[in-house]
Amino acid sequence: MYRPLSCYRLGFIPFCQYTQTCLKKEDLLSLPPPPSSQSLFRLADLNHQRPTAFDISPDANQRRQLSKQLGFRALRKLRLTGQLVASGKKNWALKAKLGATIEQDCVITLRPVITRVDSQVRRRFVPETDLAPMEDPMDEIEMDSDETLEPLPEEIDLLSVLAEALSIEAPDYPRAQGAALSETNFSQPGVAPMTDADAKPFSGLAKLQEKMQKDS
């Protein structure tokens, strides 16, 4: 993992405050670059020889826009850290960790519901020719689809990756603690409404038994 490096010059010799040693020129060249805070990467500009690290934390305005886009009340915290790694001559892989605190409306009470998300995000970008459908339908049935595969773009927008990951990880039907749906019955005037108990198996048998007991 990359750690920020603070160097001081003692004369003309770089000095590392972490190791308390002088650094040679070749040591400086071998150090990995710091994680980038940019959210848009043009793949043709990236280094194929070593991973490109990133660490993005959208600001308040970006979080508001994402919240509106995804139908959330708010995004209190949001961060995506990881790497873009070349895989072969054309393919690229994204390996990242998503951290977020989501505020949503309870589907029953509309009270705020807070959800903490900490998940791994994986994407593999390959040429569209490698995503062509199989000619034999039986092959498609036998093989599991890889949901991490995506067409190779010219640019990778990390904010789009982040938004997609959030939409997958956020609860579809958030509920506040203790919230429960009440039973609502509808029927024609003068007709007793059918309850959930009536719809259960053997409910008719139970009613018949109850009637027989009353008659006896």
Average pLDDT over residues 141-162: 81
Average pLDDT over residues 138-154: 70
Name the residue range of residue 72's domain.
35-129+142-169
* 22 in the same domain as 44: no
Q: What is the mean pLDDT of the chain?
A: 77
Instruction: Answer yes or no: is pLDDT of 31 > 90.
Output: no
Average pLDDT over residues 184-190: 58
* 24 in the same domain as 51: no
Q: Does residue 156 fall inside a structural domain?
A: yes
* 68 in the same domain as 24: no
Distance of CA 181 to the CA centre of its chain: 28
pLDDT band at 142 (very low <50, low <70, confident <90, very high): very low
Distance (Å, whole) CA 211 – CA 213: 5
Q: Does residue 15 fall inside a structural domain?
A: yes
Q: Is the pTM of this model over 0.75?
A: no
* 162 in the same domain as 72: yes
Backbone angles phi, psi at 88, to 5 degrees: 80, -155
pLDDT of residue 143: 43
Average pLDDT over residues 174-179: 85
* 78 in the same domain as 49: yes
Instruction: Answer yes or no: is pLDDT of 39 > 70.
Output: yes
Alpha helices in 106-190 (DSSP H): 137-142, 158-169
* 105 in the same domain as 54: yes
Q: Does residue 11 fall inside a structural domain?
A: yes
Pairing, β 40-42 against β 52-56: unpaired
Distance (Å, whole) CA 107 – CA 32: 47
Q: Does residue 58 fall inside a structural domain?
A: yes
Q: Does residue 212 fall inside a structural domain?
A: no
Percent of the chain with pLDDT strictly greater than 70: 62
